[in-house]
Structure formats: structure tokens, C-alpha cells
Structure 1
């Protein structure tokens, strides 16, 4: 199980009820929100729906969940100024109908991910458009430990 605490900018990884590791993360620069178009990090119980990027090198940039073949350092400064999705993707699916699943509150349809970033120096401060961003080596380490169906609880 993963527990994301928006208020403290942390993600804890638990195995059999024991915390294995805590990571610094960044969440939305806007208030948490489950509503489509809000750009807020959604709260509630989720699961890992898909794991994307196995075997890709650290820093690989993904566009539409497909590796571009380029490291984030190879992008023009104008492109790299924004948030790039790097290294690995854990695509989340809400498990609470009307809260984070279905209609205007569907985390999966909002493309809410746990992923790496090209702005590792800013991890810990709110900066995403709703996703949970991690340092590249941290998300790779976590990716190797979790599977589709593992639960993710996101708390404000």
C-alpha cells in the first residue's frame, strides 16, 4: 500500500502493514480536488491501474505514456520549463464511486499518475497539475516494488 500525504509532501510505501520507505513528493500547485479540470491532486482510495516504463533509462520522457527516446536534458529549455513525465508511470484508478471514480471525478480519466519529473530540485513543493511527482531514481525504485492492483490512499 502507498499513502500519499499532500500536506507534508510525502509518499509512504507499506508492505504487510510495515512502512518500508518514505519518499518526498510534489503534488498539485492548486488545492486538492477530485473534479475534472481542477488540476488538483485527487484524494481518497485508489489502485495502481497500470505500470508503464519498465526498462526505460532514468530521465526518459514520456508523451501520451509512450517513451520519446529522449532524456529530459535533451529537450529545449522552453519545453523543459514545464512539467515533463519521466522515468516511470504508475497510472491511478479511483476506487470510490462518486468520489474519485466515474463521471466528473474519475482519477483514471484525468490521467492521474505517480511519475518522475525533470524538476527534481523542486520535489517537496507543490508544482504539479494534479499528479504525484517523484525524483527519478525514487520512482524507479518504487516501481520495482509495486504491482497493478496495489492500493494508494491519498490524503489531504
Structure 2
């Protein structure tokens, strides 16, 4: 069961649709395209799969970094992605 908060904010990922949906108090606020693991869904540690189930955000990485900063292992590389 999801943890209830004052604003009841949820982030839902659809692997088949490759979308992230942001919901606040039951209303869809935004939807974005995402890319999940090439290996598909799975639970095995180190499998390179997208884990299923409910998760919670423990930390926010990248605060204060320039837009399009490249990260490896949750650390900025100093590189800026140029599409």
C-alpha cells in the first residue's frame, strides 16, 4: 500500500507505454516519455532489468547541476549532453 502524504503525490511508470505519469491527489498533472531497461522488467540483482513494484524516492540527485548534465553512478561526469 502506498505511503499516504498530505498531498498524495505518485509517480507511475508504464513499461509497455514507456511513460511516466505524475499524479497529485488523484489527478494527472503531467506525463512524459521515458526509457526503461533494454533487458525488460525483472527483479534479479545486477540483471540490468527494470524492477517492478512500489518504490519511494530516497534522494534527489543533480540538484544545482546544469541542464543536461551527464551522470554515471549518480555522480556528475562534468560532461553536458548535447542532443
| TM-score (norm. length: structure 2) | 0.79
Residues 70, 43 of structure 1: alpha-carbon distance in 2 compared, 3 angstrom cutoff: same
What is the CA-CA distance between 1:55 and the residue it aligns to?
A: 1.7
4+ runs of 1 displaced by more than 4 Å? none
2:52 corresponds in structure 1 to 43
- Listed as ranges, the matches of 1:1-156 within 5 Å are 1-73=10-82
**Number of residues of Structure 1 aligned to a counterpart in Structure 2:** 74
Residues in 2 aligned to 1:9 and 1:66: alpha-carbon distance in whole angstroms? 25
Point out the structure with max Rg over C-alpha.
2
Q: Unaligned stretches of 5+ in structure 2?
A: 1-9
